[in-house]
């Protein structure tokens, strides 16, 4: 690998941005494709599939063989709300190799006893999200039912283009949430990215079941490219 390529790769890694090193198996020629440039690359379909799975792989395209070395930032989940759903979701998510952070200013709920071995921030989201950092490899779950806590995090997540944004609450609650976000200047396309009610529709009732549905929806959003008919819908 050339030194200039290595420098760019390390810079992208430090900034939590994805890259794929494309190596021509026969000639040994290499080029680095940044995540933001994948859509315009002639290997876009292969690159996108490899990045979504987060795994390096060999491919063949137009009679040429390539090896794709994938560098994807570790995906993480930020839960806004130290609630029962978060208590169940955190250990499940860690088993699935997600980094987990819980944020809740309510110190009665945000305690180490309720969230052992999890990064816990007993602060207002607007005070700590700038330090935590949000990006396209971050999932944000809004779980407090309190707009004073959830809304600042939702605004930050929408601006950061997080790969998943889910919000707890009924359809009526979500309609009011959308009104508040439109007043903040977000358009329908941006607001359409919010999964609400949060989680896959599996008939979940208990906090643990809801946590399963949320984790499933997060993994689906990270790994599964929408079908054309789904996109059109």
- Rounded-to-integer distance, Cα 197 and Cα 44, Å: 33
What is the DSSP code (8-state) at residue 52? H
**The CATH fold of domain 76-223:** Rossmann fold (3.40.50)
- Residue ranges per structural domain of the chain: 3-71, 76-223
- Residue percentage of the chain with pLDDT more than 90: 81
The model's confidence at residue 224, banded by pLDDT at 50, 70 and 90, is confident
- Torsion, Cα of 17, 18, 20, 21 (10° steps): 30
SS3 at position 90: helix
Count of C-beta atoms within a 10 Å radius of residue 17? 17
Count of C-beta atoms within a 10 Å radius of residue 139? 27
pLDDT tens figures, 4-61: 888 998 998 888 888 999 999 999 999 999 988 998 999 999 998 898 888 899 999 9
The pTM (predicted TM-score) of the whole model is 0.84
The model's confidence at residue 230, banded by pLDDT at 50, 70 and 90, is very low
pLDDT tens figures, 22-31: 999 999 999 9
Residues 77 and 141: beta-carbon distance below 8 Å: yes
Residues 9 and 31: beta-carbon distance below 8 Å: no
């Amino acid at each position: 690998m050339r030194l200039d390529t290595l420098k760019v790769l390390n810079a992208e890694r430090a900034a939590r941005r994805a890259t794929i090193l494309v190596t021509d198996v026969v000639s040994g020629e290499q080029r680095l494709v940044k995540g933001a440039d994948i859509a315009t690359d002639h290997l876009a379909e292969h690159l996108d599939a490899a990045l979504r799975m987060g795994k390096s792989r060999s491919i063949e395209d137009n009679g040429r063989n390539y090896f794709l070395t994938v560098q994807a930032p570790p995906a993480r989940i930020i839960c806004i709300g130290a609630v029962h759903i978060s208590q169940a979701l955190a250990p499940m998510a860690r088993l699935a190799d997600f980094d987990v952070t819980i944020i809740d200013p309510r110190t009665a709920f945000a305690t180490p006893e309720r969230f052992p071995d999890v990064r816990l921030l007993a602060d207002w989201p607007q005070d700590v999200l700038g330090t935590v950092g949000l990006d396209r490899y971050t999932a944000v779950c809004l779980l407090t039912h309190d707009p004073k806590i959830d809304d600042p995090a939702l605004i930050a997540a929408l601006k950061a283009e997080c790969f998943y944004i889910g919000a707890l609450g009924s359809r009526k609650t979500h309609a009011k949430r959308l009104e508040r976000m439109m007043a903040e200047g977000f358009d329908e396309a941006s607001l359409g990215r919010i999964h609400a009610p949060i989680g896959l529709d599996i008939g979940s009732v208990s906090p643990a079941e809801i946590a399963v549905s949320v984790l499933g929806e997060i993994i689906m959003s990270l790994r599964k490219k929408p079908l054309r008919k789904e996109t059109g819908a």
